[in-house]
Amino acid sequence: MEKKAAAERLQELRAQIAQHNYRYHVLDAPQISDAAFDALMQELLQLESLYPELVTLDSPSRRVGGTPSSAFQQVRHFLPMLSLENVFSEKDLRDFYLRLQKNIAAGQISWVGEPKIDGLAVSLYYEEGIFQRGATRGNGYYGEDITHNLLTIRSLPLRLKDAITAEIRGEVFISREGFLKLNECREAQELPPFANPRNAAAGSLRQLDPTVTAERPLDLFVFSLNGIRGIKFPATHWETLQYLGALQFRVNPHVTLLNGFEEALDFCRRMNGLRKELPYEIDGAVLKINSLDEQEQLGSTSRAPRWAVAFKFSAEEAVTRVEDIDVNVGRTGAVTPVAKLAPVLLAGSVVKRASLHNEDILKQKEIMIGDEVLVHKAGDVIPEIIEVLKEKRTGREKPFLMPVSCPSCQRDLKRLPGEVALRCLNPACPAQLIERLVHFASRNGMEIMGLGEALAEQLYTAGLVEDVGDLYSLHKEDLCKLERMGKKSAENLLENLQKSKGNPLHKLIAALGIRFVGDRAARLLAAHFQTLPRLVAATKEELLSVTEVGPKIAASLQEFFGQEETQRVLEKLARAGVNFAALPGGAAGEVEKGLPLQGVTFVFTGTLAQYTRREAKEIIEAKGGKVAGSVSKSTDYVVAGENPGSKLQKARELGVKIITESDWEHLAALS
């Protein structure tokens, strides 16, 4: 076929495939068979392979998965992606409504009600009607570029009917049926199942290889539009949703136009009643002021719009039986009782275990082996026993006593002063070592893909590793001898270990598993000391001089780095070439990457005219800054409102810059 004819045919194919995608994935009303659709797609791919210069940004071939990426780039949102204010009762919702009435001239408020899909929020950027880029929410101001993964979602249009330039917001999710099939497939491949549909969707969108994402049953509902060019903007949110539907986006069919509080409340009740019948997970209902003028009039805090609210449903509950109680030994030696439950379906996943946290909780709830119990998922994620159904006891239940010795190494357990947890204080305890390996390789640590709990246990049991430093001395020949570890898997693991050597310093500090040192503290320590040797040698006073590092963290750091075992591990890591220094550009920039007020400390004194203290603090923290309670030499600005107190005089004595509320507002707006 000649190039001109090929170009014309490709244009026809793109239009046909887009329309069939829309009918199948949005309208659920296909017009052709799967085989006929596949034939159109195959013809398009063949023509594009002959004439690669004819491939366009709206070509359906972009959906099949692109080249694997080594990392996600940060992108700035056109407008901040704010969270929603949550309410948990009808009384709280009424209070929210009454607050709105005070600020809106109209007597009866018109709302739009939407199901609150339990998925992952995304922003979609279109230029002249062509999909260009998509990103996660991130910190609300900057998100991760996940364009190649979003392209695999068939209900996402690549070309819009109108040539507009706009940012559309939506929620990516996996249906209940799709989630069950996905987990069946993973179990057949001897892979760990996903915990729930939301985690599965989030994990799929953060895959570095889009071909993996393309195999996941992701879907999308859109719910807002931020116009930039080419749009005659609707006057209401309801009209906006109708327009998005006309552009061939998938809009939730349960969105409803509501008038007044009673209709809004009835919508929330109705959605709660439909919760188990819907083909996807929802965890609440969202109510938005319909008038866009009123939305603009009400405005937003730094965290949430004042014109919308999420009515969160109570966590789903279920009754099951405690079949046994076991104990886990964590990486810090804490011994935690865990209830083994008769499997029960709860909030989208099968629950088999629930942490009992510590001996005091176990006694307080009077949980016995054999008890029937009421369980839910705390925060809709973590299985938790709410209460024992004592009226169902038969007399055959057995009490559980915490062990006096570690189940892993048999050393005596101790309860340290001021702590409720029993601990194994043996640094060579096998259970602790395995947990440290898992933590070191986790997403919050060095991000070594492929190294989970099962492999960590194998590595330790086979004598290949005794601590995290040994990971970098592994050889392919030894790995291939392990169960279910083929040549390719071994090569991938070694490649991921090699990549991890170049991680930023804060990733290594967090991966070491120091008590009380999480991601935030690790970033602050990396920013302050710049190299690991400087951190290791730091005095207590030097540690306490770091922002947000108190006596507890300082003592934990000194204890950790003072151990001979730690010194041996660090020597191994150094010999392996693991990065011990802040990367070029400075670790300070890693604390809150890209945020304009990063590292700037404010102190407020007196009463602000336009903001509450909480709102002001949220604005500063959202942009990477910090609000302190007292003035010191490290304070950058003191914001003086009406009737300032002694902090003003302290600022003058220390020479700290004093600004007005108006100055601060201008500074925050510019940053």
pTM of the model: 0.55
How many C-beta atoms surround the C-beta of residue 370 within 10 A? 14
pLDDT classification of 586: cutoffs 50, 70, 90: very low
Alpha-helical segments (H) within 530-645: 532-536, 540-544, 551-561, 564-576, 588-591, 613-622
Contact 236, 225 (CB under 8 A): no
**Active site members:** 116
Instruction: Give all strands (DSSP E) within 31-129, no chain letters.
Output: 74-76, 85-87, 110-117, 120-127
Gap between the Cα atoms of 426 and 489, Å rounded: 33
Phi-psi region of 209 (alpha: psi -120 to 50; beta: other; left: phi over 0): beta
pLDDT value at 585 more than 70? no
- Please return the burial class of 372, using the count of CB atoms within 10 Å of its CB with bins 0-12, 13-18 and 19+: middle
Task: State the average pLDDT over residues 428-449.
Answer: 90
* Angle formed at CA 77 by CA 74 and CA 83, multiple of 5 degrees: 105
Gap between the Cα atoms of 143 and 133, Å rounded: 11
Q: What is the average pLDDT value for the chain, to the nearest integer?
A: 86
pLDDT value, residue 251: 97
- Tell me the pLDDT tens digit for each residue of 646-655: 788 888 888 8
- Tell me the pLDDT tens digit for each residue of 78-95: 888 888 888 888 999 999
DSSP-based three-state secondary structure for 607: strand
pLDDT classification of 591: cutoffs 50, 70, 90: very low
- Tokens in use for 5? 């004819």
656: closest CA among 628, 637, 629? 637
pLDDT value at 15 more than 70? yes
Alpha-helical segments (H) within 57-193: 90-103, 147-150, 176-188
Q: Which long-range contacts (CB under 8 A, 24 or more apart) does 337-343 make?
A: 337/362, 337/400, 337/402, 339/367, 339/373, 339/385, 341/373, 341/375, 341/383
Q: What separation in angstroms does the CA of 492 have from each of 49, 69, 70?
A: 30, 15, 13
What amino acid occupies position 52? P
DSSP-based three-state secondary structure for 40: helix
- Tell me the pLDDT tens digit for each residue of 517-537: 887 788 889 988 999 999 999
Spatial neighbors of 501 by CB under 8 A, at least 6 apart, are: 472, 576, 577, 578, 579
Angle at which helices 197-205 and 176-188 cross, to 10°: 70
Domains of the chain: 3-64 (1.10.287.610), 85-312 (3.30.470.30), 317-400 (2.40.50.140), 430-500 (1.10.150.20), 505-591 (1.10.150.20), 601-670 (3.40.50.10190)
Give me the phi and psi of 202, to 5 degrees please. Answer: -65, -45
Task: State the average pLDDT over residues 355-362.
Answer: 83
